[in-house]
Homo-oligomer: A and B are copies of this chain.
Amino acid sequence: MITIYDVAKKAGVSPSTVSRVLNKHDNVREETKKRVEQACRELNYVPNANASSLRKKNTKTLALIVPEIKNPFFTSILEGFEGRTGKSGYITLICNTNENSKKEKDFIKTIIAKRIDGVAISTVSKSSSHLQAVINRDIPVVLLDRDIDDLDVDVVCGDSYQGAVDLVNHLIGLGHRRIAIITGPVHLSTSRERVEGYKQALNNANISIDNNLIKIDKKSEGFSSKRAYEMAKELLELPELPSAIFVGNNFMAIKVYQALIEENLKVPDDIAIVCFDDLNFMYEIEPFFTTMRQPAFTMGKMAAEILVNKIEGKYENNKQKVKLQPELVIRKSCGAYKNNVGRKGCREE
């Protein structure tokens, strides 16, 4: 393997001079620079990033930890993230935890070991000690999508509480009174806040809360569409069915929908479904689920922006808590496809 010494020898200079040329330091004579660059080209020299990182104490690499890379919500986040970090010359280490906290902790270990420059994470974990360990090592961390209270870090997430209120309000506005919720475990801030918003909206409308209609996944670590399916089936065994179901996220909604179909229930005629997050590509042609769409791309971009700025020391030490507003997208699954267009904050698809 060609090293900087080989280049130096070929160009008739010292390794330090080669390094200076490579890192665009000043005080290198134009003619020397040309010679070095020539030698680099002739030898196909590619500097060893590990050696460079060791000395420079940076890796020009950021980690993005997501719970489910298959979910378009997270690929949109990724797009926004990579778009921004790429511009500053960072590459992204995408870590897909599959909603598994063990995997998340393993990734964190790797990230620390590799001396990654910064981490954006949508966590699945109940505890935050592994993240605290990252912070303790002065590696910038941004919580993305999912917040953790007891951690003093920057946060970029959607307003799940308000989104849930609005979504349930929409159902109430359509005449629904018996509204169920199926969502993930409440140690995830998104899930927890959606439950809170759900309850708040019912309270506001003087609809009493029926605990039979609240299905919160207590078995999984993260959002699980498999569990959503099971919880939907449980719900359908009730003597009195709900007229609408608010589902915690897009993938869970698909499985809830499947459960309903299997029981010969029509959506939205028999039961309406609304959920959080979009399914993107599929719904470009056949939009179906009425959903609270979060600005995923922007979320990723903002997280990246914060990380890059923190790394490059452009920020003070104060922490940012960005809360982005989701947008109600009315489609067919709530039975209100044409009825509601024009209402404040709503758009038709």
Q: Does A115 contact B (CB under 8 A)?
A: yes
Q: A interface, by DSSP: helix, strand, loop or mixed?
A: helix
Chain B residues near A47: list those with CB within 8 A: 113
Chain B residues near A320: list those with CB within 8 A: none
Chain B residues near A109: list those with CB within 8 A: 46
Indicate with 1 or 0, residue by residue over A39-64, a CB within 8 angstroms of chain B CB atoms. 00000101111110110000100000
Complex: A94 Cα to B136 Cα, angstroms: 27
Chain B residue at minimum C-beta to C-beta distance from A75: B70
Tell me which of A7-15, A25-33, A276-284, A308-316 binds B. Answer: A276-284
Q: Is the pair B282, A282 in contact by a Cβ cutoff of 8 Å?
A: yes
Smallest Cβ distance from A248 to chain B, in angstroms? 16
Smallest Cβ distance from A229 to chain B, in angstroms? 10
Indicate with 1 or 0, residue by residue over A265-300, a CB within 8 angstroms of chain B CB atoms. 000000000000001111011000000000000000
Smallest Cβ distance from A58 to chain B, in angstroms? 10
Complex: A281 Cα to B255 Cα, angstroms: 9
Smallest Cβ distance from A236 to chain B, in angstroms? 16
Q: Does A208 contact B (CB under 8 A)?
A: no
Q: Does A101 contact B (CB under 8 A)?
A: no
Smallest Cβ distance from A129 to chain B, in angstroms? 11
Residue among A113, A251, A284 with the highest chain B CB neighbour number at 10 A: A113
Residues facing B in A96-144 (CB within 8 A) are: 96, 107, 109-110, 112-115, 133, 136-137
Q: Chain A residues in contact with chain B, CB under 8 A?
A: 1, 44, 46-51, 53-54, 59, 69-70, 72, 75, 78-79, 82, 91, 93-94, 96, 107, 109-110, 112-115, 133, 136-137, 251, 254-255, 257-258, 261, 279-282, 284-285
